[in-house]
Amino acid sequence: MYRLSKLRFGFPIGLFFWLLIDGTVSQVFSVQLFRTPSTMVSHLVVLWLVCGAIFEADSALSMPLARWAAVAGAVFDLYYTGIFGLYVFIFPLVIYMTRRLVSWIRPNFLSGLLVYFIDITVVEALGYLASRAMHLNDASGNAFLVNTLGPTLAFNLAMFVILYFPIRWVYNWLK
């Protein structure tokens, strides 16, 4: 029962914690992450959301993930980028995609890694396309693939490997 579990408060708190940690990680490790020309973008909040969708399928618990994803996206847009209307749609889309994918494959650590790979690719690609359309950058498709998508995937998959079991422990504790 979602309504009676600790998840009801634990999930949003974790969501905002990881949202703010994204910015802090980018600031503290900015020399390593934003080394020109390649940039690694930390998406720990997506990791929290995707793990939420995976454990939801694992434990037959239904959580209002898409709603909270939209809220996190709105805060991301207003606080971090200042351009409203992008991540507020991308984050719920990630939840939708992850739910569809884990309904076809049995979710575990390895399949979760693959799902997360797809999610990060979608987040970055849509972010790139939107910012191209809004004239916020002038990077070519090649530059995007080599300088942003590649390093970002490497960083975030490493984070998935490191944080999957701790986050699973947190979800089990909250359940």
Interface residues toward other proteins, by CB under 8 A: 16-17, 20-28, 30-31, 34-37, 39, 41-43, 75, 77-86, 88-89, 127-128, 130-131, 133-139, 143, 147-148, 152
- DSSP three-state, residue 71: helix
Query: Contact at 8 Å (CB) between 121 and 148?
Result: no
Q: Which is nearer to other proteins, 130 or 174 (CB)?
A: 130
Alpha carbon distance 76, 62 (integer Å): 24
Alpha carbon distance 82, 101 (integer Å): 31
Q: Which is nearer to other proteins, 55 or 159 (CB)?
A: 159
What's the alpha-carbon Rg for the chain, to the nearest Å?
16
| Bond into 37 cis (ω within 30) | yes
| Distance in Å, CB of 36 to other proteins, minimum | 5
Burial 143-160 (b: 16+ CB within 10 A, else e): ebeebbbebbbebbeebb
Q: Which is nearer to other proteins, 55 or 91 (CB)?
A: 91
Q: Which is nearer to other proteins, 25 or 54 (CB)?
A: 25
Q: Which is nearer to other proteins, 4 or 31 (CB)?
A: 31
